[in-house]
Amino acid sequence: MAIVSKPITANRYRAEPSVLTALRTPRLLTREVLAGLVVAMALIPEAIAFSIIAGVDPRVGLFSSFVMAVTIAFVGGRPAMITAATGAIALVIAPVAREYGMDYFIATVILAGVFQIVLSLIGVAKLMRFIPRSVMVGFVNALAILIFTAQLPQLLGVPFMVYPLVAAGLIIMIVMPRLTKVIPAPLVAIVVLTIATVVIAINVPTISDQGELPQSLPELFFPNVPLTWDTFTIIAPYALGMALVGILESLMTAKFVDEITDTHSNKTRETWGQGVANVMSGIFGGMGGCAMIGQTMINVKASGARTRISTFLAGVFLLVLVLGLGDVLAVVPMAALVAVMIIVSYLTFDWHSIRLSTLKRMPKSETTVMIATVVVIVLTHNLAIGVVVVVVVIVAMVAFARRVAHLARVERTVELNQPVPTAYYTVTGALFFASSNDMMTQFEYADDPDLIVIDMSASHIWDASTVATLDAITYKYERHDKHVVIEGLNKASTELHSRLAGNLGAGH
């Protein structure tokens, strides 16, 4: 039987296990509760650090993380994904707080949420597949660089003891995961450095020096800004940048979780949910945010969470911990948070993309696009401007990509009446970043027999994105102890595949 371009159905997005199943199963419920607690502890230091990057009080980031985690648990399209205040969003809207004040800052967050809702309704999530891998890598690398440079004010013109404290924090976060991953390394670093500064009475800047910490539940906040065209022109560019960055990072994270869990998520609903969460965050005086790759990996990969329960409890536990430990948080040295953000920057950067071996194998055109994306964003030192510029360039690519992406198709035939039961896939058409992203969803990883043959004789590989997709498909089958054979590649496709396969970091 041949299956061609299977239609998306409601069952495709059904979460396994469901929330009701988890609530009825003590073992699953315990896993979700513990995962939520671990994520909440990991969220606290980063939410405070991101608040400082944005130039607002720590409570703004903490409230935002609470509101967004709880909201997205109900309205998001990807179960178990964590949404909270992030460095990317902080970098985008930091100029608003600095130049126009808190009211304009909150208005920007609310408008960004509205933009995301509108963009979801016009189908922007479906256009994500047209963004080439090289642009994605460039965006991630630029984000990492900006996160690191945002720490420089906390490292220049400060007491000397800040430097050994930062160094100690880095050492703890590098060594700790090798010993145990039960307790988040950033949390351990912050606790150790805080105890050291209090016991030894080291005089260094602390969180209390950066602004007010929360003492009560978040309250409604309606920004006092004039509802005029001038106001709109001030905040709209930052709000659009925030909306685009949030969608980009959230859908990238959702794709990672899809691959880890071998499930599908509703990207359009996730985009809409991010918008709702940002609007709610703004209404309660939060700084907004998006999905967090690091915390999501802690929740899904390290803790094994699979449902919305863990996301909801991460927000609840965060608020409980913050209100109960407010006085303790006030004495946390800024050096500890700087160390955390340096590690975040390091882990965010795609080091594989700049290895000499990778640069030699990659087509020069794709390397140029990646570098250009980094340069545009870093030189403007503003993700909002940088992303808008990049998006404008991509629009021209999308116009062409949309015309040809639908020409690629996958047909599946299963032969059980032979010595080795085999699933045969025939891939037809031009394969590049737009069409290859869809190809991953056309394979039955769990249901196929132990041998899978992918016939590429009627297709052509055009870029590294397709090779990365084939690597990811092979890796997903290997996780199910199944063997993949790729055959029928033409000469040009064979050369590109042989040069890049296994060297793009896909899947692993």
For 163-210, what is the HEC assignment?
Answer: HHHHHHHHHHHHHHHHHCCCCCHHHHHHHHHHHHHHHCCCCCCEHHHC
What is the overall mean pLDDT for the chain? 84
Confidence band (pLDDT; 50, 70, 90) for 330? confident
Quick check: 412 pLDDT over 60? yes
CA triple 210-50-374, angle to 5 deg: 130
The yes-or-no verdict on residue 316 having pLDDT over 90 is: yes
The average pLDDT across 92-96 equals: 90
Rounded-to-integer distance, Cα 215 and Cα 206, Å = 18
Name the least confident of 140-149, 321-330, 407-416, 434-443: 434-443
Question: Per residue in 1-21, pLDDT tens?
Answer: 343 434 334 445 556 688 888
What percentage of residues in the chain have a pLDDT greater than 70? 88
Among the residues of 332-430, which ranges form H helices? 334-348, 356-361, 364-380, 383-405
Q: Is the per-residue pLDDT at 355 higher than 90?
A: no
Half-sphere exposure of 219 (CA within 13 A, CB side): 4
Q: Exposure string (b/e) for 122-151, b if CB count within 10 Å is 16 or more?
A: eebbebbbbbbbbbbbbbbbbbbbbbbebb
Span of 32-36, 107-111, 254-258, 483-487 with lowest mean pLDDT = 254-258
Both tokens of 480, joined, read 């199910």
pLDDT of the residue at 2: 40
DSSP state of 205: -
Q: Which amino acid is at 133?
A: R
- Name which residue leads in pLDDT, 12 or 119: 119
Contacting residues for 439 by C-beta, under 8 A, at least 6 apart: 408, 410, 427, 431, 466, 469, 473
Residue with tokens 């969220």: 43
Measured CA to CA, the distance from residue 241 to residue 239 in angstroms comes to 5
Residues near 156 by beta carbon (within 8 Å), at least 6 away in sequence:
none
What is the number of residues in the chain?
508
Say if strands 409-415 and 483-487 run parallel, antiparallel, or are unpaired: unpaired
What spatial distance separates the first Cα and last Cα of the chain, rounded to whole Å?
32
Inter-axis angle of helices 464-479 and 133-149, nearest 10: 90
Q: How many CA atoms lie within 13 A of 506 on its CB side?
A: 22
Whole-model pTM above 0.75?
no
From 481, 486, 482, select the one nearest 501 (Cα to Cα): 486
pLDDT tens-digit series, residues 199-249 = 998 999 988 787 767 777 888 888 999 999 999 999 999 999 899 889 988
Beta carbons within 8 Å of 277's beta carbon, 6+ residues apart: 67, 68, 71, 72, 75, 76, 83, 113, 289
Structure tokens at 328: 């303790």
Per-residue confidence (pLDDT) for residue 186, from 0 to 100: 80
Residue entry with tokens 């949309």: 402
Return the axis-axis angle of helices 229-261 and 383-405, rounded to nearest 10°. Answer: 60
CB atoms within 10 A of CB 245: 25
Q: How confident is the model at residue 126 (pLDDT cuts 50, 70, 90)?
A: confident
